[in-house]
Homo-oligomer: A and B are copies of this chain.
Amino acid sequence: MLAMRAQRALSEELLREVHGEFEAGLQAFFARHQERYAYGEWVESLYLDVSEYVARKGKRIRPMLLLGAHGLFAGDGDYAAAPAMRAAIGLELLHTFILIHDDVIDRSERRRGLPTFHKHVEARLGSRAGRERVGQSIALVVGDVVFALAIECVANAGCPEDRRGAVLSQFLALTTETGCGEIQEIALGLRDISRVSANEIRHMYTLKTTRYTVEGPLVLGAMLAGASQEAVQAIRQFAEPVGLAFQISNDLQEFRHFEVSDPMFQSDLLEGKKTLLVREAFERLNECDRSFLQLCLDSPSLGEPSIHKVGELIRKSGAEAVLEEEMRRLFDEARMALDTPALTPEQREGLLFLKDHVRSQASL
């Protein structure tokens, strides 16, 4: 199978194949480690819960970027080599840990069409008093254990000795940066929109989205494949505008979903988060509309009429067109970052293909 794939250029068909191998690898991973968690009833069933939670249909954006980049830089064009596969599983486990904790923080009820982890644990407790807090507590500790498992996966990926330290450091840096981005998001959420600059939001996006979802996975894949430092640097310069553009695209999509008022859709807007779209709209509105927007963002729960008015104001401000223009500019910038002798033409093509692949997914 490996030989057949040698030198094959990246294509949707190839990515589907690699995706299939990734899902199989993920299942095998959980089956292999099961006996380590034979610590009694609860731990055992929580382990099965985690394996089912991870197996829920996800887009696997991060592992696919890692595996794609690895294949582009490994000389043999092997898109599913064992060390890369293990690191990709580690990345998905990291994502799992972050989702479990985020859902506790946001008290979310649904994730990937099913109950969130803490709600799932809570349901197990029947009608017992205090079950809500017990569910949250267990979910927190489970998240911590999954984080440790993720690191173990990367540390034991079996990649060549000369790059082992750098790969693990990159993985840990990605984790701390994502955490700092989450803290910045909470901090910006506490401030009035007039006191949050567009650059602060961009910086928060860089930490929270670019490093975590685009740069980290691509760089890890390339590093594992032994890419040169110059190539890794080029990937970072490519990933920076791509990540920002993805987050802006996500904001715009969320806004449009919210516009058609899909009841299943959790909107950042409804949570009063400071997105670039809201900031841009605020910038362009007159004083009266600004005050209204400020008031709405500051209210913990908006009523339907206010929500509609906020949507109307954002549309009227012309902020959407401004951000679409910014997105185009960012994608151009990304394309230019690839124009370096550190990359082969196939690698440039491949990275652009991966970017379009992610862009074609509904949301991050």
Instruction: List the interface of chain A (C-beta within 8 A of B).
Output: 37, 39-43, 46, 101, 104-105, 125, 128-130, 134, 136-138, 140-142, 144-145, 147-149, 151-152, 155-156, 161, 165, 168-169, 172, 175-176, 179-180, 182-184, 186-187, 190, 200, 203, 207, 300
Q: Which residues of B contact A105 (CB under 8 A)?
A: 136-137, 140-141
CB of A180 to closest CB in B, whole Å: 5
In the complex formed, the residue of B with least CB distance to A150 is: B172
A304 to B288, CA, bound (A): 58
Bound-state Cα–Cα, A121 to B279, Å:
26
Please give, as numbers and ranges, the residues of chain B lying within 8 Å of A144 by CB-CB distance: 101, 144, 147, 175, 179
**Contact between chains at B300 and A138 (CB < 8 Å):** no
- Residue from the set A42, A125, A161 with the largest chain B CB neighbour count within 10 Å: A42
A140–B186 alpha-carbon span in the complex (Å): 12
In the complex with contacts A41-B187, A141-B182, A165-B156 CB distance below 8 A: yes
B200 A40 Cβ-Cβ under 8 A: yes
B148 close to A176 (CB less than 8 A): yes
Q: How far is the CA of A190 from the CA of B136 in the complex (A)?
A: 14
State the oligomeric state as a number of copies.
Answer: 2
Given contacts A101-B140, A137-B105, contact A145 B180 (CB under 8 A): yes
Q: Are the C-beta atoms of A43 and B141 separated by less than 8 Å?
A: no
Using Cβ atoms and an 8 Å threshold, which residues of chain B touch A43? 180, 183-184, 187
Given contacts A152-B169, A155-B155, contact A179 B145 (CB under 8 A): yes
Contact between chains at A190 and B128 (CB < 8 Å): yes
Q: Are B137 and A186 in contact (CB under 8 A)?
A: yes
Q: In the complex the two chains form, what is the Cα distance from A129 to B299 in whole Å? A: 10
Given contacts A40-B200, A140-B101, A165-B156, contact A172 B151 (CB under 8 A): yes
Chain B residue numbers with a CB within 8 Å of A140 are: 101, 104-105, 140
A203 to B130, CA, bound (A): 25
User: How far, in angstroms, from A200 to B148 measured CA to CA in the complex?
Assistant: 24
A202 to chain B, nearest CB (A): 12
- B104 touching A40 by the CB < 8 A rule? no
Pick from B125, B130, B186: contact of A300, CB under 8 Å: B130
